[in-house]
Amino acid sequence: MTDDQWSGWRGRYGPMLIAEIGGNHEGDFDYAKELTRLAIGSGADVVKFQIYTAEQLVNRHESPDRHAHFRRFELQPEQHRELAQMCVDAEVRYMASVWSLEPLVWIDEFLDFYKIGSGDLTAHRLLQEFAARGKPIALSTGLSTVPEVHAAVGAIRAVDSAYEHPDRLAVLQCTSVYPLSHSDANVAAMTTLGRATGAAMGYSDHTTDGVALRVAAALGAQVLEFHFTDTREGKEFRDHAVSLTSDEVRELAAELRIIGEVLGDGEKRPLDSEIETGHVTSFRRGTYFARDLPAGHVIEQGDLVLLRPEHGLPAWRSDAAIGRRLTSPVAHLDRVDLAATE
């Protein structure tokens, strides 16, 4: 991918939608292919996996159970490449969280950007090695404080100042709990991180119903990441419980279109629809005379009344008539016209 081909964190429905299959295949390659087909058809912008080996991720002496878990979920390089090619053939972005540098030798050609998981936010050397490759980075922030996020972002930007631009770096609010309660989603922290870092805002979800994703979109998220499965029924692996299905992704996409329309462009101005209905004039007040007055009368506050519609002198300019002398008589409810005063 070249810089000309990267259009930033934009998806077909507004925010970039990342369907994270992750480890939901549970090491079954046929199941991984089926999930990929479903994710491609769901309308997601990106289909995402995780690439690791247990040996390169977990100390088997310190955490033998975790080591065994990750070893069971491993897929082979040629299998990951086949999954990536399925996405390419369907013209849907493939992505993977690559948890060490070695797999980049055989998968990097398929990656338009790098996704750094929450657990690696404090691994500054690893962050800088990814940054040195120059591709955009999406950084999840589960488990972290604002100073820790600052330090991680600083480590990335120290390698290349291009990461100062929000199109090159996205910071995702995330709570690393599975499943996640609404009260712990803390979606508002996304805007805190956006202000603190100047990076694009995003949200990585672990709730069970997708409500937090919609809230994040309404707050201006440019990236929405969620786990993906075929069904939550009868599944033991925890990530299925926090995953969306194809139908739910389609529902989310449809609602994101509406959320984007409702959000608008952020510029405050009279909209065409307000102007075309005439409401700018009919809803606002103009300045009118409260009584019949003779020529030569010096206008006082009590001589004026503010009424709809806004004809003649606008209400906000009514004080401009005070102290002026009428050059001709006026009738009750006549419009105030400064040209007829001196």
Residue 313 DSSP class: S
3-state helix, strand, coil in the chain (%, to 5): 40, 20, 40
Query: Do residues 157 and 197 make contact, with C-beta atoms less than 8 angstroms apart?
Result: no
Summarize the confidence of residues 165-180 as an average pLDDT: 97
- Residue 3: per-residue pLDDT: 55
Rounded distance, CA 24 to CA 228, Å?
Answer: 8
- Residue 147: per-residue pLDDT: 98
Summarize the confidence of residues 151-157 as an average pLDDT: 98
Q: Which secondary-structure segment (H or E) carries 254?
A: helix 246-263
Which is higher by pLDDT, 189 or 237?
A: 189
Q: What is the CATH class of 272-340?
A: alpha beta
- Residue 56: per-residue pLDDT: 82
Give ∠ CA 305-311-313 in degrees, rounded to 5. 65
**Bond into 179 cis (ω within 30):** yes
Summarize the confidence of residues 208-217 as an average pLDDT: 97
Rounded distance, CA 9 to CA 113, Å?
Answer: 10
pLDDT class for 245, splitting at 50, 70, 90? very high
Confidence check: pLDDT of 206 > 80: yes
Summarize the confidence of residues 114-121 as an average pLDDT: 97
Rounded distance, CA 60 to CA 224, Å?
Answer: 33
Per-residue pLDDT of 4-44, as tens digits, reads 578 899 999 999 999 999 999 999 999 999 999 999 999 99
pTM of the model: 0.89
pLDDT class for 73, splitting at 50, 70, 90? confident
Confidence check: pLDDT of 231 > 90: yes
Rounded distance, CA 181 to CA 191, Å?
Answer: 19
Strands 137-140 vs 114-116: parallel, antiparallel or unpaired: parallel
Please, where in the chain does CATH 3.20.20.70 lie?
A: 9-263
Please, where in the chain does CATH 3.90.1210.10 lie?
A: 272-340
Query: Do residues 328 and 295 make contact, with C-beta atoms less than 8 angstroms apart?
Result: yes
**Which range, of 19-23, 57-61, 115-119, 136-140, averages the lowest pLDDT?**
57-61
Q: How many CB atoms lie within 10 A of CB 118?
A: 17
- Residue 159: per-residue pLDDT: 98
Summarize the confidence of residues 312-323 as an average pLDDT: 98
> For the CA atoms of the chain, what is the radius of gyration?
30
- Residue 4: per-residue pLDDT: 55
Summarize the confidence of residues 152-181 as an average pLDDT: 97
Amino acid symbol at 261: E
Q: Considering the chain, what percentage of its residues have pLDDT values greater than 70?
A: 99
pLDDT class for 261, splitting at 50, 70, 90? very high
Summarize the confidence of residues 143-148 as an average pLDDT: 98
9-263: which CATH architecture? Alpha-Beta Barrel (3.20)
- Residue 11: per-residue pLDDT: 96
Confidence check: pLDDT of 111 > 90: yes
